[in-house]
């Protein structure tokens, strides 16, 4: 069976090369249920791989890109008739001593390996061997199949808030029950969770962006060059804005939402401002240690959800869309309080400016954020004197209650994203339960000792708490 | 740097597809040295990955195939300027309970995944987590770089007979010391080990075979069709002689050379006859269990070393070459003694016939054995009524003394080979120290429950020992 590939997916497939694998990932940490026997992880794995016939797997997880004379050289989706679940669902273990460090090493390595086009574009690795007994799952899905947010949603769609619920299907199952459950949850979300819904709608936007007419591209280029738009800033050159290699480093950690909320309330800023201030302070310390901090402040590209009225845009999900705000990170300032204030003001200005932009401008700005890999060659960004921004920082709201997969409690969920040439570091956060989970994905060579950013993020939370304390 | 790819290597690259990865593998089992600390495996891994600049790696391990407009569409070798040792040298662990079963599962999975052409065509996995404390190493090298025997040799080249020798280089190191050591060992082998030398020379032959003129192809096809040659037999159809998938199953075990030698001496047969009889009995039992034993006896293709006078062939290593003998496995006979006798007689006849063949005929026969994947399409074997043989069984002599890698004692070394369409099972043995090590590589779908063959091989050794006991 052969089906056409939409322009966005084609864009992600064609943009991919050895140094830029185009898959998103998710790392989930679970606690075993209390009644787990010795064979629990193996049984979970056997359950995950028990979907081995074509009709038990959802079509999304069966198709692979194919190009041949028969398809006149066009890329098409083809069902993998030789689908082999054991290639996609794997049971792994960590070397001793089984710390989070060994887990992140393994996940970094897995995330740095391209998915072979000759098979469906996904993998799921169930990982045991953490010395504290936790179990990890790393999933990898090509951006041509889903965007990062949808991938995290898909993983979450099979979770339950009921710890006693077992026999839950794997995310790739096509079982009617699973589908019904997913649809019910989709409906729930449509009612309750506009911001993430907005991000999901972004896929619709990028489809238009990939086929964006020349006039729009010109608008966008003017915007980036700061000729017209107050949103665009000159960003300094940093080590992050270089060509990258295919090697990846992933680092992840989480912080209590209560701590971030405390800072936000005491300082009159938003949670998102606090997240950006954490990143700003951590990046400043990191670059100072490397003697690579630019004199002028760094700029982050931050995707934000827009409501229908703001966006004036039709999208696949009924009027919600994503805009991008260029935020001053104030990394040139030593005082965490000043940084937070500057970020708060810059974010507020950016959102206001976004509200006054024309739909075409918003579309163009959104496109930079959602499909940089596609747009970079189109815009010939490399020909610009400076990068339009230094780093992408996304903050995606997630579920605020505890979830379980077949009795295993989900402790945290950390997104892995796609570094591209000129944008070697990506920071994506997602809230889950009572935590803010950070996932940092970088090129291992371009961003040395990436894991140090975790310590710096932690220091920054403390510094911001001190600031907030004086505000109280 | 761009260098041409020789015709044989090009053949292996072009023959490769999703269901036929063209890499050979080796599984080595080590005992940790007695003075090993807790961090021993990690230190060994750090040592293995410590070669991270281009000039520390041997050129063989730096080149990858490349085709572009610049090379006029031709495949060429190109040095990977972005070489990343962490992509090639990996530290893995086994899930619990860490039995040999879990090891073979992991190695099967690793062997079933294609090497990406965009990087140098090799991987080495250091594997911990065996519950008995042993350490495993699985290496994977594309057949376009080395043939299976050379790959095993390359691995062995960095081993020492001295348990106290440490700081030994990795096989991929280009250090002058390593090179000197390897050359010394090569020289040693040239003097002492003609049979393996002969196999290594086979690479030279296949290079000629790939460019084999039409007359030769015609000779070969006549041979297969049993029109001219006493060597060629009609082989029955079996489950092994079907199209294959990309899924792999690997099984491995070893038996004491003393036991095989006892059988051989008591029955007046060769060690190789005993190995073939083991395989024959095991295949018979395996197929009987599946109710798939053919009525007529199966035929094995067995590569044999030829001396210069026999072969009349020039080869890269000064007159040694490899011929192929088609051996009756006598799987239709229930009596192990009768099977061993038939195999012994068939092997003797085959070698005699080989001695009377013309060089062109030997070359043609050799080519079937060494480059079946290349020759299958050329000969349109699929158009023949029956397969020319049912299974490939190779027996490659190895070192007869205990070897060490940085103090770790090598306990066994098991070759992984390449199943191809129509030849879903490959059995390769190699002697090491006081053992005969068997590696069975098959398509997981075409050859179900491959691991059962290990039990059957063990039963067959016992059965042959009973036969030998009556002879004594």
Domain B2-190 homologous superfamily, CATH: Chloramphenicol acetyltransferase-like domain (3.30.559.10)
Residue from A21, A64, A95, A110 whose CB has the most chain B CBs within 10 Å, to mutate: A95
pLDDT of residue A358: 62
Residue B87: list chain A partners with CB under 8 A.
Answer: 109, 112-113, 246-247
Nearest to A93 among B42, B45, B93 (CB): B93
Answer whether B129 sits within 8 Å of A444, measured CB to CB: no
pLDDT of residue B19: 86
Q: Is B255 helix (H, G, I), strand (E, B) or coil?
A: strand
Mind listing the pLDDT tens digit for each residue in A8-44? 677 778 878 888 898 989 999 999 999 899 899 999 9
Residue B38 forms contact with A (CB below 8 Å): yes
Residue A270 forms contact with B (CB below 8 Å): no
Residue A19: list chain B partners with CB under 8 A.
Answer: 82
Q: How many residues does chain A have?
A: 472
Answer whether B92 sits within 8 Å of A92, measured CB to CB: yes
Calculate mean pLDDT across residues A340-361: 80
pLDDT band at A378; cut points 50, 70, 90: very low
Give the distance from residue B114's alpha carbon to the nearest chain A alpha carbon, in angstroms: 9
Q: How far apart are CA B182 and CA B157, in angstroms?
A: 6
For the CA atoms of B169, B171, B173, B179, the dihedral, rounded to the nearest 10 degrees, stands at 80
Beta bridge partners of A128: A93
Answer whether B93 sits within 8 Å of A95, measured CB to CB: yes
- How far is CA A167 from each of CA A61, A68, A171, rounded to the nearest angstrom? 20, 41, 12
- How far is CA A402 from each of CA A163, A416, A432, rounded to the nearest angstrom? 9, 21, 8
Residue B92 forms contact with A (CB below 8 Å): yes
Task: Return the closest-CA partner of residue B158 out of B145, B140, B143, B175.
Answer: B175
Residue B386 contacts residue B236 (beta carbons within 8 Å): yes
pLDDT band at B196; cut points 50, 70, 90: very low
Residue A111 contacts residue A40 (beta carbons within 8 Å): no
Residue A174 forms contact with B (CB below 8 Å): no
| Residue with the larger pLDDT of the pair B438 and B418 | B438
| Pair of tokens at residue A310 | 């703001």
pLDDT of residue A459: 97
Answer whether A95 sits within 8 Å of B444, measured CB to CB: no
| Residue with the larger pLDDT of the pair A380 and B41 | B41
Residue B245 forms contact with A (CB below 8 Å): yes
For the CA atoms of B344, B349, B351, B353, the dihedral, rounded to the nearest 10 degrees, stands at -170
Residue B109 forms contact with A (CB below 8 Å): yes
Residue A45: list chain B partners with CB under 8 A.
Answer: 95
Give the distance from residue A250's alpha carbon to the nearest chain B alpha carbon, in angstroms: 14
Residue from A78, A93, A118 whose CB has the most chain B CBs within 10 Å, to mutate: A93
Residue B42 forms contact with A (CB below 8 Å): yes
Calculate mean pLDDT across residues B50-55: 85
Mind listing the pLDDT tens digit for each residue in B113-172? 999 999 999 999 999 999 999 999 999 999 888 776 677 777 777 888 999 888 788 888
Give Cα B319 distance to the centre of its chain. Answer: 22
Q: For the structural domain made of B212-401+411-469, what CATH number should be given?
A: 3.30.559.30
Residue B245: list chain A partners with CB under 8 A.
Answer: 82, 84
Residue A414 contacts residue A437 (beta carbons within 8 Å): yes
Give the distance from residue B467's alpha carbon to the nearest chain A alpha carbon, in angstroms: 42
Residue B116 forms contact with A (CB below 8 Å): yes
**If you average pLDDT over each of A268-272, A318-322, A414-418, which comes out highest?**
A268-272
| Residue with the larger pLDDT of the pair A159 and A321 | A159
Give the distance from residue B424's alpha carbon to the nearest chain A alpha carbon, in angstroms: 16
Q: How would DSSP label each residue in A179-216?
A: HHHHHHHHHHHHHH-HHHHHHHHHHHHHHHHHT--HHH
Mind listing the pLDDT tens digit for each residue in A220-255? 454 444 433 444 557 888 999 888 899 999 999 999
Residue A32 forms contact with B (CB below 8 Å): no
Calculate mean pLDDT across residues A365-384: 48
pLDDT of residue A170: 87
Q: Residue A318, Cβ neighbours under 10 Å: how many?
A: 10
pLDDT of residue A69: 74
pLDDT of residue A62: 93
- How far is CA A59 from each of CA A2, A116, A174, B275, rounded to the nearest angstrom? 12, 18, 8, 47
Mind listing the pLDDT tens digit for each residue in A304-343? 766 545 444 433 333 334 667 889 999 999 999 999 999 9
Question: Is B266 a residue whose pLDDT tops 60?
Answer: yes
Give Cα A59 distance to the centre of its chain. Answer: 23
| Pair of tokens at residue A297 | 């402040």
Q: Residue B363, Cβ neighbours under 10 Å: how many?
A: 23
Residues with Cβ within 8 Å of residue B405, at least 6 apart in sequence: B30, B158, B159, B160, B168
Q: Closest-CA residue in chain A for B103?
A: A92
Residue B48 contacts residue B437 (beta carbons within 8 Å): no
**At CA B430, angle to CA B294 and CA B163, rounded to 5?**
155
pLDDT of residue A363: 59
| Residue with the larger pLDDT of the pair A184 and B202 | A184
Nearest to A42 among B93, B95, B246 (CB): B95
Beta strands across the sheet bearing B404-405: A404-405, A408-416, A23-31, A135-142, A122-128, A89-93, B89-93, B122-128, B135-142, B23-31, B408-416, B404-405
pLDDT band at B294; cut points 50, 70, 90: very high
Domain A212-401+411-469 in the same topology as domain A2-190:
yes
Task: Return the closest-CA partner of residue B306 out of B424, B197, B414.
Answer: B197
Q: E-strand spans in B206-298? A: 248-256
Report percent pLDDT > 90 for chain B. 49
Q: E-strand spans in A118-272? A: 122-128, 135-142, 248-256
Answer whether A18 sits within 8 Å of B119, measured CB to CB: yes
- The residue written with tokens 């040439």 in the block is A421
**If you average pLDDT over each of A48-52, A441-445, B156-160, B192-196, which comes out highest?**
A441-445
Give the distance from residue A411's alpha carbon to the nearest chain B alpha carbon, in angstroms: 21
pLDDT of residue B185: 53
Residue B129 forms contact with A (CB below 8 Å): yes
In this structure, the strands spanning A321-328 and A404-405 are unpaired
Answer whether B91 sits within 8 Å of A95, measured CB to CB: yes
Residue B121 contacts residue B145 (beta carbons within 8 Å): yes
Mind listing the pLDDT tens digit for each residue in B57-106? 988 899 999 987 777 778 899 999 989 999 999 999 999 999 999 999 99
Residues with Cβ within 8 Å of residue B142, at least 6 apart in sequence: B12, B13, B22, B23, B115, B121, B122
Q: Closest-CA residue in chain B for A103?
A: B92
Q: How far apart are CA B417 and CA B23, in angstroms?
A: 7
Question: Is A212 a residue whose pLDDT tops 90?
Answer: no
pLDDT of residue A6: 76
Nearest to B19 among A82, A105, A245 (CB): A82
pLDDT of residue A177: 54
- The residue written with tokens 């020319």 in the block is B388
Task: Return the closest-CA partner of residue B284 out of B404, B159, B420, B463.
Answer: B463
The question of whether A88 is a catalytic residue gets the answer: no
Question: Is B210 a residue whose pLDDT tops 60?
Answer: no
| Pair of tokens at residue B413 | 């070394």
For the ranges A152-161, B173-182, B249-258, B341-350, the lowest mean pLDDT is seen at: B173-182
Mean pLDDT of chain A: 80
Residue A119: list chain B partners with CB under 8 A.
Answer: 18
Question: Is B275 a residue whose pLDDT tops 90?
Answer: yes
| Pair of tokens at residue A282 | 């951590």
Residue B41: list chain A partners with CB under 8 A.
Answer: 95-96
Residue A128: list chain B partners with CB under 8 A.
Answer: 95-96
Residue from B18, B19, B93, B246 whose CB has the most chain A CBs within 10 Å, to mutate: B93
pLDDT of residue A410: 95
Q: Closest-CA residue in chain A for B95?
A: A93
Give Cα A27 distance to the centre of its chain. Answer: 11
Mind listing the pLDDT tens digit for each residue in A50-75? 987 888 898 889 999 998 777 777 88
Residue B7 forms contact with A (CB below 8 Å): no
Q: How would DSSP label each residue in A315-352?
A: -TTSS-EEEEEEEE--TT---HHHHHHHHHHHHHHHHH
In this structure, what DSSP letter does residue A57 have?
A: B
Domain map (residue ranges) of chain B:
2-190, 212-401+411-469
Answer whether B113 sits within 8 Å of A87, measured CB to CB: yes
Residue A283 contacts residue A275 (beta carbons within 8 Å): no
Residue A19 forms contact with B (CB below 8 Å): yes
């Amino acid at each position: 069976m052969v089906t056409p590939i939409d322009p966005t997916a084609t864009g992600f497939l064609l943009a991919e090369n050895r140094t830029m694998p185009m898959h998103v990932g998710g790392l989930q940490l679970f606690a075993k249920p209390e009644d787990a026997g010795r064979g629990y992880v193996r049984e979970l794995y056997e359950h995950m791989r028990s979907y081995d016939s074509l009709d038990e797997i959802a079509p999304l997880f069966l198709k692979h890109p194919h190009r041949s004379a028969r398809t006149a050289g066009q890329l098409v989706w083809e069902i993998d008739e030789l689908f082999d679940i054991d290639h996609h669902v794997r049971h792994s273990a960590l070397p001793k001593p089984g710390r989070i460090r060994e887990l992140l090493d393994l996940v970094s390595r897995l995330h740095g390996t391209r998915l072979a086009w000759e098979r469906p574009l996904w993998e799921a690795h169930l990982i045991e061997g953490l010395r504290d007994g936790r179990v990890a799952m790393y999933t990898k899905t090509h951006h041509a199949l889903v965007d990062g947010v949808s991938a995290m949603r898909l993983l979450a769609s099979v979770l339950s808030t009921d710890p006693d619920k077992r026999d839950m299907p794997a995310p790739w199952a096509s079982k009617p029950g699973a589908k019904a459950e997913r649809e019910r949850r989709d409906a729930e979300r449509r009612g309750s969770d506009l911001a993430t819904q907005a991000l999901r709608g972004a896929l619709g936007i990028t489809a238009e962006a990939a086929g964006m007419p020349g006039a729009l591209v010109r608008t966008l280029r003017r915007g980036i060059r700061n000729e017209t738009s107050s949103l665009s800033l000159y960003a300094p050159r940093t080590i992050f804005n270089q060509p990258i290699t295919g090697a990846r480093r992933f680092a992840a950690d989480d912080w209590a939402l209560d701590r971030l909320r405390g800072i936000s309330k005491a300082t009159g800023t938003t949670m998102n401002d606090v997240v950006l201030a954490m990143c700003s302070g951590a990046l400043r310390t990191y670059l100072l240690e490397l003697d690579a901090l630019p004199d002028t402040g760094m700029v982050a590209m931050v995707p934000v959800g827009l409501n229908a009225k703001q966006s004036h845009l039709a999208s696949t999900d009924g009027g919600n869309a994503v805009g991008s705000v260029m935020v001053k990170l104030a990394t040139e300032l030593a005082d965490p309080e000043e940084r937070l204030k500057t970020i708060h003001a810059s974010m507020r200005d950016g959102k206001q400016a976004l509200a006054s932009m024309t739909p075409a401008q918003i579309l163009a700005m959104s496109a930079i954020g959602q499909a940089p890999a596609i747009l970079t060659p189109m815009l010939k960004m490399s020909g610009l004197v400076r990068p339009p921004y230094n780093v992408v920082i996304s903050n995606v709201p997630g579920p605020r209650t505890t979830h379980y997969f077949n009795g295993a409690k989900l402790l945290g969920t950390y997104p892995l994203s796609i570094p591209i040439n000129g944008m070697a570091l990506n920071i994506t956060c997602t809230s889950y339960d009572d935590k803010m989970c950070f996932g940092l994905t970088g090129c291992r060579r371009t961003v040395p000792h990436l894991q140090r950013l975790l310590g710096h993020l932690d220091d920054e939370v403390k510094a911001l708490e001190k600031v907030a304390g004086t505000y109280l």
